[in-house]
Structure formats: C-alpha cells, structure tokens
Amino acid sequence: MKMRLILILSLTSMLCSFFVTAASNYDLEVKIFAAKASERYYKLYNKIAEETYSSLNEDDFEMIFTKLTTVKVIANELVEISLEASEFDLNKVQDPEMKRALQNLRKVGELFVLGEDYFSSVLINLASLKELSTDKDVEPYMGGINMPDHDDSPIAYYPDIQRIFESSNDPDELKYYWETWREKNLVWSSVNFYTIVEAFRKAAAILEVPVLQFWYRCYNHKDFFSEMEKVMEEIRPAYRQIHAFVRHELHKKYGNDVLDPKGPIPDHLFEQVLTQAWKEGSVIETYFPFKELPPYDDFVKDFDARKAIDEVQRFYKSLGFPDFDDQFLNEQLKEHDDTANSGDCRADIFDLTPRVFMKYCRKVDFRKFMQNHGYLSRVHYAQEKKNLPSYVFSSYDLEYPVGEAVILSACTPKHLDAIGLAKDFEFTNATLMNRLFRMGIHTIFNIPIFFVHTKVMNDLLNGTVEMDGINKHYWYLMQEHAGVEPPSDRSQEAIDFPYRFYLDLEQNYQTKKFVSEVLGYQFYRAFCNKSSQADHLHNCDFFSNLAVGHDLKAMMSLGSKESWRDTIAKILPDNPGLHGDALLEYYAPIIDWINNSNVENKLKIGWNNTKKKII
C-alpha cells in the first residue's frame, strides 16, 4: 500500500507553471506544442484517476504489478514531453512567457527521467526511508514504565516511541530511544538517503536545469531559499526569548546533569517539549495547567465523520465557495477502511485536477476536525483551477497555507462560539493565553527545524557540503538556528536526522511545511484585515466574509498561470513574499509575557556553544 501511495504522490506533484502566448512564428510553434501537451496531460490525469486511485489489496501482487506497469507508461509519456520541450531553442523564443513555458516543460519528467533506475532503485529507496519510522526494530527501554503491560517486544518509532515522548518525563528513557533508533537505522538511512540525493543531481543534469531550481521547482522562484532566510532573521529575536524560557523550565525540571542552563537544548528534550505541547505535564504546566484548557473534544462529541465534513464545508460555503457536486460526494469522497483507522488515522487527499479524491477518517476528535478544514482547502483549490489548461494546474502548494489560514479562523473561540460548539464554555483571558502558549510552542519551535532540514538538502545539492560531512554540518545548523545539541557525542559517520526529515522527501516536504506555517499566518492576517475585526489577531474569525472568499478564488483560479509572487499578490498585494511579521503579531501576547518572565529571572538570551563533540 505504501508503494502505491508513493507512486500516486509522485504522479500528482509533476507540474510547475508554463503559460504561453503567441508572439512570433517560433513562439507560435511553442504555443501549439504546449496546447498539445495540455491535451496529453488531461489524458494522463484521467488515467491516474481511473486506474491508480482505486484501493488495492497489498497481497494482490498481480494487481500491484498491473498498476506499476500503468505508472511506467505514464512516466514514459512525461519524459517524452520533457525531451520534446528540450528540442526547442530558448534563444529563439521572443516572448518571455513562451520561454518560461519551455523551461518548465523540460522539468515535467521529474525523477522519471532516470528511466528504469527510478522504478528499480529510487522508488524503493523512498519507500525504505518512509518505513524507518514504522519498522519495529527497537528494544524497549528496560527502566521504562510507559509501554502497555511492559511488553518487551521490539517497537517502532511511530507510533510507539512517539507516544513515549508524549508522556515520559524520564530523560534517560528519552535519550535511550533517541540514540537507539538512530543507531538501528544508521546504515539503512545512509544508503537510501545518499541514493536519493544523487538521483536529484542526475535528474537535474538530464533535464539541463540547475539542481536547486529543480529542487524548488514547484515555487518557480529563482532563489526561493533566500525568502526562507529572511523569515528566520525576522523571527530570531522572538525565538531566542522562547528558547531561553523553555530551557530555564527544563533546567528547573532536570538540573545541571541533564542540560546546561546557558547552552543549547539537548535534542531529546527539545523533541519532548514539541510532542508534549498539548499534553498534561508540559514545561508550561506551572503557568498554564492542561486541565484549564477548553474541553475541545467535547465540542465535537456529537459529530460522526460525515457530519464533521459537512460542518467544515459550511465554513467554505460561507465564503462563497460552491457546494460539492454529486460526483464528488458519491465517487470521490470515501471513508478509510477499518485497517486505516487503527492508530492515528490520517486523511488522504489525491489532487488529480480536474478531479480530486479524499479519504477521511471515521473517528472524530477536535484535532481531526480542524485538520479537515485544511484538507478541504485542497479540494476547493482543485475545483477553482480545473478549467485551466492542464499545464498550469500546479498551485505552488498554496493550498496548504490557505488551509492553515482557515484552521486559524475555525479554531478561534469567536468561531466556536458563533457556530454553537462552545456555547457551554466561557473563554477567559487565562484560557486564551493557555491556548495561545501551546500553539506558539508547537509552531515557533518547529519553524527553525523545517528551515534546517531544508538547508541540509539545499547545501548537499549545491555542493556546499559533501555526504561524509553531513552530520557535522547538520549539528552546526541545529545549534546555529535552533539552539539544539545532540544528547551525547556523535560520530561524523552517523546521520542523526529525525524520522520526519524523510517524510515525502521527494516532494520537498520540509520546505512545504515551512512555507505553509509562515504564509498561512500572512494569509490569515490579510483576511482578518479585510474583515475589519477589532479583536486581537489570535481571536479573529473571517467566517461568512464573501470578500475574503473572492480574494481566495481569484488566487486559486490562477493555478500557476502567473509567477509565485504575482499569484500570492491576489491576497498580499502590498508585500507579496514570505515574511514573519504576521506570525509574530499573532503570538505577541505570549512573546511579551515570556520577555517579562525572562527579565525577572535574569535569563541568558541565546546560547553558548555546545560541549558535545562530533568525532
């Protein structure tokens, strides 16, 4: 099943923009070629939708082989389009939009240009990296008490070890799992990761595009990483304040033997803080008790899965989006099977514009209810761009920050009160701060990690660092940007990336998450400003605002017809780029509170160099 999902995801992330207009005879040839390519893409997308989306039985090897053969046929077609585009001479193209069309057409072959190597090696490497988190190969910590019935059978990082990080306050136990999981996966992760890095370099060379341009291909931006660096500089002062506060609380909890009160935070404790942000017993429990949070799951206790989807759809309809048609409701919206509902079920979205498919989870809790607001943004985005030529279906991954903005509105006390879910609960200022603090730790502590993960790939691909020096480079970046150190001395031969580094690596998922978080807050603030609400930004609800829906649809309907910057300008006309100021404004109340607390406790802001060695 995992292999099938990887094949689907590979095929649904293939396009970036290439908009064409007529300018000269040669440009006319390009236009004709692009039009024919559009027809070919429509057929490909339909083939994927009809032949690849249907559920598979993992044991039905004959069926899996048939699907793989279909994918290979589609891949060959994409490679042919790339090669045909490469036959045009860019120097003869007068119209810049025509030139851009050819430049992007050359890239649509993606990693498929590697031919049989992709299917025989790279695809297997990608699947192997994904399975690092679910392989049950770690012996339980003998001193721990967090496994049910003290089961001594081997466990996996996800969900077993992750759950331990959510509940354990034993630093030795956390350190054990941090180190053991990496030691178990050292060779396997190194081999597979190295193969994938080389695959991107080779594919970029075949396509005759710079490797970083290929890596950031779905942003169609000359120097996209510089946008991310700018955000990091903007949020750095606030991050250092929050880091100092959290480090102080960890030091009070664990003492000098576990962490230096003026140094970086050990990574196993940093991960503990992230996973326990919404749990009882987190580092902020003294100031903002978990028991005083709103009873969020009780708000949706009367929802079944379809009722939850309907409630989310009501939000989008209030913005002026059309209701779902019968074909989507009857054929493209499905419930996960029972197997998928074991553990932490996650919805699946397959954007095969002009059709989009969604599998939702049967269980309903508040977290999944909010996530559905993000998932449906992808469905509506696909609907708004479906009438475009298929070669501009790509949306620069903007459906994700749109979803973040909608979630930020939908989770506010104002919205929960307005739709009647929180009618029996009173949100006090203390409750608002409690909620905001936990959101802030989860968001602001994650952003430097997404940045470091992106920079690791950025520096590997452009040759700044070689593979044999990557672990030392990784820990340099973690200290520099996140104030995090390893729990113990580490080997240069190791690769200490966390399991989430490898998630959807071929899709540049870490960059996607960084952009989604930052741009989501920018979109949210723009929508709140359009709503002219006087409340604090963290309690703004743009539900029922048709002007917001108008701006959203204006951006969605462009697909990738215009550049990334011109596209987001439909929502951010005054400053269309990545900026951290909206996020900082959203969390201003807790940042101010932390600043005052740090002054009172006379804390060091920033961190000394780590004493841990990479040898």
Binding site: which residues? Answer: 219
- Identify any residues that bridge with 358 across adjacent strands, giving them in sequence order: 333, 349
d(CA 446, CA 481): 11
CA distances from 162 to 36, 269, 319, 440 (A): 49, 13, 38, 20
d(CA 484, CA 505): 23
Nearest to residue 398, comparing CAs of 569, 208, 584, 282? Answer: 569
C-beta atoms surrounding 108 within 10 Å = 25
614's CB contacts (< 8 A; 6+ apart) are: 471, 472, 475, 486, 489, 490, 491, 492
d(CA 254, CA 265): 12
- Identify any residues that bridge with 265 across adjacent strands, giving them in sequence order: 484
404's CB contacts (< 8 A; 6+ apart) are: 374, 516, 517, 519, 520, 521, 523, 524
Ranges of H-type helices in 150-210: 162-167, 171-207
Pairing of strands 355-360, 348-352: antiparallel
Q: List binding-site positions for chloride.
A: 219
User: Which residue type, as a one-letter code, is found at position 372?
Assistant: N
CA distances from 270 to 100, 167, 273, 613 (A): 43, 14, 5, 18
Nearest to residue 528, comparing CAs of 513, 543, 516, 518? Answer: 543
206's CB contacts (< 8 A; 6+ apart) are: 109, 113, 114
Long-range own/partner contacts, residues 598-605 (CB < 8 A, 24 or more apart): 598/241, 598/244, 598/245, 598/248, 601/248, 603/244, 603/245, 603/248, 604/244, 604/261, 604/262, 605/240, 605/241, 605/244
d(CA 513, CA 475): 21
Burial (CB < 10 A; 0-12, 13-18, 19+), residue 597, is middle
Angle, vertex CA 181, rays to CA 176 and CA 187, nearest 5: 135
Judge whether 100 and 213 are in contact, CB under 8 Å: no
Q: Helices 447-461 and 224-254: crossing angle, nearest 10°? A: 130
